[in-house]
Structure 1
């Protein structure tokens, strides 16, 4: 316990292990470090400190301490405590004036912590920024390039209207600094300033200085300059970045000396080059191909994006095919990385195979799911498997899907059963085999498997009418397993559609009718239509059910869709039975898998944004990033006018596959 004025304060020794202390009133051990992560050496501290409230006054006193400290060790320790509290979410802003004084200490470690503190509070408490301008002016003129760079970087995080008076000249100077690290840091400061005040950036000539840095002798500076220009070009309606062929070649040469992230920026810059000749696109693509072997997934995916972009400006199919052969191995390699990278790669592959359906068709086994794959990876793989399925590998795919249907993850099992139905619809020659697999799954008597199988079989009946009626009896034997709305609605549709061939169709529908008022709208609509079909096909059998369901649907149900459909049927049946038969029993259009393909314009947009969030969400970046411009293919003499025709074309990468 504390003494004197601090007698109400409990002090503890924290070895990074203690988790509770005993309440003196209740004698119970209660948590005092909940959601806190204090670790390290043993230390004395008040319970308030452990709670994250912090001892502002004590920290302030330590900062102002005049004890001899020639190596500034005490100042370092205090600043570490402040940064730690700040990281845990505790408000350290009352210490702003005292922390600011530490900027005058000529120790790099201390300056780093002070700058970190300033960055943290610069946006949230802009009124405090004016106090720091004078020390910043001193630091940006320091003889130490690290201090100059840290100062200009920190100023870049501050609102432009607060610091423009003292930022203008230092930023100009840093963009021309003799040290490349300072130039690189200043280049990244320009786009941050542009976000706050684009007019100011143009007026002060920062954009021109940024462009001049593209000719810098240091590759890291070039990469930072191009990164800044790309950031500005993506968000400015007035500024368009255009890179000619000579500059593109020069940037690719500089890429050899860049870090992996610098290489990513330079590769991204190639998206702003519009080839004017087919040969230009081919040459640049060949220079980028070696980056496909890079260890960094970001470099690989960005390289893939640029090569796909350049293909739009090529007319030589042999060159295009050869490039696609080179794209396949690195994409497969990414599927052996961590799960997160796998998922990113899978989502991007899904886009590519919609443009080039035969891409990776010989790598089907790579996409087979492993037992320990997370569900999001399994579902992404499943989608690609179905798109790569063809007449030659469908048996292998169905065997795999049947095995997936016995997994423990219910969501994955449902998706697997649905995929069997998609195979049947996509490949007519494999429908019989798909039906056999579905029947075996129904015989397992697993409720959710049976229900998904019923939904799938309904779709198969719609695709191939009057072809598989022989399995209806098997479906009817499993009516007790149906408790989900979609499965019930599917089974009711089957009974109504084939009511003239099911002897006890009226009894089956009557059983569903017992819970009509409690069912979902989907089931009610399906039941209403099925009973009307039964009446039209077998009037004597259905005449007892029709009045009942029409009365309930028009008088006892609140849903307007159901009520309107019931009135339509009632009037049709009472006024013109012939017209009712023609309408209710009219032939439905066959379902296809084409609806799963993206709109070509959206696909073009997403292919230009591979390796970004847009390629993972499968939504254009303008949908979730405010102020960003959409990317489009720019017209040039080299642009291939038959881009979308290529989407339907097949490419035989292996003539011996069959």
Structure 2
């Protein structure tokens, strides 16, 4: 008799996740849910009913088909419980397309809710009704939509604007015939910024086949004057549109930059990078102030780099990588901020190693080389490899440092017993000698040892190339090549064999008596080797060329080569220019243009046109004529508001206010403790900082670094677990800024609270304080 199977043990209450009850997948559960929804006891108990609907939504989220419950959920949606109604409407919107006949049952409930006294219910019902995605719903949706666009509640108006887009996707004709597109265009002036931003997005989407929204001067002024009222997403979208607008004059360009200057001081990386794109757009055409524009962008960019999120830092670094090639020298003074930290993800390290060589100059080259030397000995071989490549790029960019770098690379070959390091060092030396051939005498003595110790085929091929190109006059060269020929059958790398053939031919023309027999033996072996067709054909070519005319073969194989003046990587290639034109898009992160990873039908023209102010004036005039005349404020009103922000951003033109000086900190400022305490208690917090430091410095070092940037310490103390400081500074507009700083010793985390007499400049003061601590970040 078989032993009965024991029942499973009861589940422990503490051993299950709190949400696991919503994800029970036992057989027949959907049928049980239908029975529960029809149960009168559940119908009378709001709490139990809500729990059942929660489980239905959880099943739907997991991808389980619960469409058979559509009728029951329709009946459950007729409730005053807002949470329950929201879940029911979510279910109905999801399954309406597959239950079109049953979906008509919920239309009455939704249209009735659109007349509810609660704006949350009205907005929810309107959003859900428009999300059903059924053509049969349009006749019921249109009346409530027209009423919702005039609703006094901003939440309802915003959902109504978005519903216009959904209706447009269902039936474009009904939107045009009822003038919904014109109504939405007028709502760009809506007093609520969320409604205005949604209207802008809907108008752009509706007109996407015509190239998107038409920007003219009046609309640009209207958007700029309200830019601070919009949330992060609204600002990002507006800035994306403004990047396509071409100012009609330099004066208008300065005005736009003055207005957008405040967007560089916000915490949102999306807004800062979108604003940066516009400034870079203008910098290419205003070349006489290009350096000043890049200098203005430097500090906001460095501030974003201090964000604790590695994903955000990586995105910012990829954009900085594009910027440093467009305007060399701007970031050079902050090169230490691009040093690698041990706990950073590898993509961040790789990006920094590509940026660091671009920041090198004759002043900081020794510090950079010392730092890169540490990276060469990293446990990650990829870091070592990229650090050595960085050495080569620095030597190419700065000829004065080439000698020291080549000597350093030779030291790596001699002292570091790692094949990856030796291989990459030899490869970099090979490239450098193409530009500095006069340094070959210092490199040749190291080649025999390299040939013995390097096992990597790429490194071995590089050594053989150097022997053939520069080592023909070295006494040992024929003997080194003879040993390689003797071990030809043991060599498996085609790359090494091809390099050997070329090197032996080159040495033959310089020292024929010693190499003649070696070349004959090598050609015979390679012509009999059929393991690789390309290698065999190359040997056959050399053989026939030598048989035909030795002097012609000499001219072809050992032709005179002028030193390399510029490598292809140094030039601003078409790819780099295309990536720059797609700034603040995924193209920067992928290192490829959008056309390579986006379907053609979804591509958007993102290229930045060169500014021609005369052409821009004509283009914008045409756009203004085509645009709706009532989509913005009157020109006189908006122009007055536009010119109201008359601070000259760069001090080079525009409407500079004589009463406000360019921002900087005054030197030798004093303040007594009583005044500091009074000002601190009276002011509100205007800005904060949260920075991870590489190490915990002593208090006097923090004070001295801040003082060098004209930020002075009122008092400091040791709390045991942390250091605490009180700093102050006075700017060029005689505004006093105060800061309370605490540095945790264990985590090396620095936090700062900034208060100011003028909060608009508090973030600038905070950025200046962070810049003063750049050496510690």
Question: Structure 1: where are the runs of 5+ without partners?
Answer: 1-6, 19-37, 642-658
- The equivalent position to 1:262 in structure 2, one of 225, 234, 245, is 234
Aligned twin of 1:372: 343
**What TM-score, normalized to structure 1?**
0.83
Residues in 2 aligned to 1:491 and 1:336: alpha-carbon distance in whole angstroms? 43
TM-fit CA distance, 1:573: 0.8
Matched, 1:410 2:376: no
Matched, 1:61 2:41: no
Please state whether the residue corresponding to 1:468 is helix, strand or coil. Answer: helix
Deviations 1:225-276, CA, capped at 9 Å, x for gaps: 223344556xx34243222223222212222222232222232232243211
Aligned 1:117-128 pairs, distance under 5 A: 117-121=91-95
Aligned 1:140-219 pairs, distance under 5 A: 140-155=114-129, 157-159=131-133, 161=135, 163-191=137-165, 205-219=179-193
RMSD (CA atoms): 3.3
Residues in 1 aligned to 2:460 and 2:163: alpha-carbon distance in whole angstroms? 61
Matched, 1:456 2:428: yes
Contact (CA 8 Å) 2:529, 2:536: kept in 1 or not? no
Aligned twin of 1:582: 555
Aligned twin of 2:78: 104
Aligned 1:235-246 pairs, distance under 5 A: 236-246=208-218
TM-fit CA distance, 1:74: 1.4
Aligned twin of 2:331: 360
TM-fit CA distance, 1:210: 2.8
C-alpha change, 1:420 and 1:274, in structure 2 (3 Å) is same
C-alpha change, 1:139 and 1:73, in structure 2 (3 Å) is same
TM-fit CA distance, 1:603: 4.6
Decide which moves more: 355-364 or 556-565. 556-565
- The equivalent position to 2:519 in structure 1, one of 533, 543, 546, is 546
Residues in 2 aligned to 1:516 and 1:639: alpha-carbon distance in whole angstroms? 71
Residues in 1 aligned to 2:570 and 2:103: alpha-carbon distance in whole angstroms? 53
Matched, 1:533 2:506: yes
C-alpha change, 1:525 and 1:176, in structure 2 (3 Å) is farther
Aligned twin of 1:596: 569
TM-fit CA distance, 1:196: 6.6
Deviations 1:279-325, CA, capped at 9 Å, x for gaps: 1111011111112111122221122122223445547x34x444332
Contact (CA 8 Å) 2:440, 2:470: kept in 1 or not? no
C-alpha change, 1:162 and 1:532, in structure 2 (3 Å) is farther
TM-fit CA distance, 1:195: 6.0
C-alpha change, 1:574 and 1:258, in structure 2 (3 Å) is same
Aligned twin of 2:409: 438
TM-fit CA distance, 1:459: 0.7
Please state whether the residue corresponding to 1:67 is helix, strand or coil. Answer: helix
Contact (CA 8 Å) 1:622, 1:630: kept in 2 or not? no
Residues in 2 aligned to 1:499 and 1:620: alpha-carbon distance in whole angstroms? 43
Q: How many residues are treated as equivalent by the alignment?
A: 608
Aligned twin of 1:331: 301
Residues in 1 aligned to 2:29 and 2:243: alpha-carbon distance in whole angstroms? 53
Residues in 1 aligned to 2:30 and 2:108: alpha-carbon distance in whole angstroms? 25
Residues in 1 aligned to 2:93 and 2:174: alpha-carbon distance in whole angstroms? 22
Aligned twin of 1:564: 537
Please state whether the residue corresponding to 2:220 is helix, strand or coil. Answer: helix
TM-fit CA distance, 1:460: 1.2
TM-fit CA distance, 1:77: 0.2
Residues in 2 aligned to 1:554 and 1:161: alpha-carbon distance in whole angstroms? 75
TM-fit CA distance, 1:430: 0.8
- The equivalent position to 1:39 in structure 2, one of 18, 31, 43, is 18
TM-fit CA distance, 1:463: 1.6
TM-fit CA distance, 1:119: 4.7
Aligned twin of 2:11: 13
Aligned 1:297-336 pairs, distance under 5 A: 297-312=269-284, 314=286, 317-318=288-289, 320-336=290-306
Residues in 2 aligned to 1:439 and 1:356: alpha-carbon distance in whole angstroms? 33
Residues in 2 aligned to 1:552 and 1:166: alpha-carbon distance in whole angstroms? 86
Deviations 1:6-51, CA, capped at 9 Å, x for gaps: x998574343526xxxxxxxxxxxxxxxxxxx4359x6x9xxx645
- The equivalent position to 1:476 in structure 2, one of 443, 448, 471, is 448
TM-fit CA distance, 1:590: 4.3
Please state whether the residue corresponding to 1:616 is helix, strand or coil. Answer: helix
Aligned twin of 1:284: 256
Residues in 2 aligned to 1:126 and 1:502: alpha-carbon distance in whole angstroms? 86
Residues in 2 aligned to 1:206 and 1:287: alpha-carbon distance in whole angstroms? 32
Please state whether the residue corresponding to 1:412 is helix, strand or coil. Answer: helix
Please state whether the residue corresponding to 1:284 is helix, strand or coil. Answer: helix
TM-fit CA distance, 1:429: 1.2
Contact (CA 8 Å) 2:194, 2:234: kept in 1 or not? yes
Contact (CA 8 Å) 1:534, 1:542: kept in 2 or not? yes
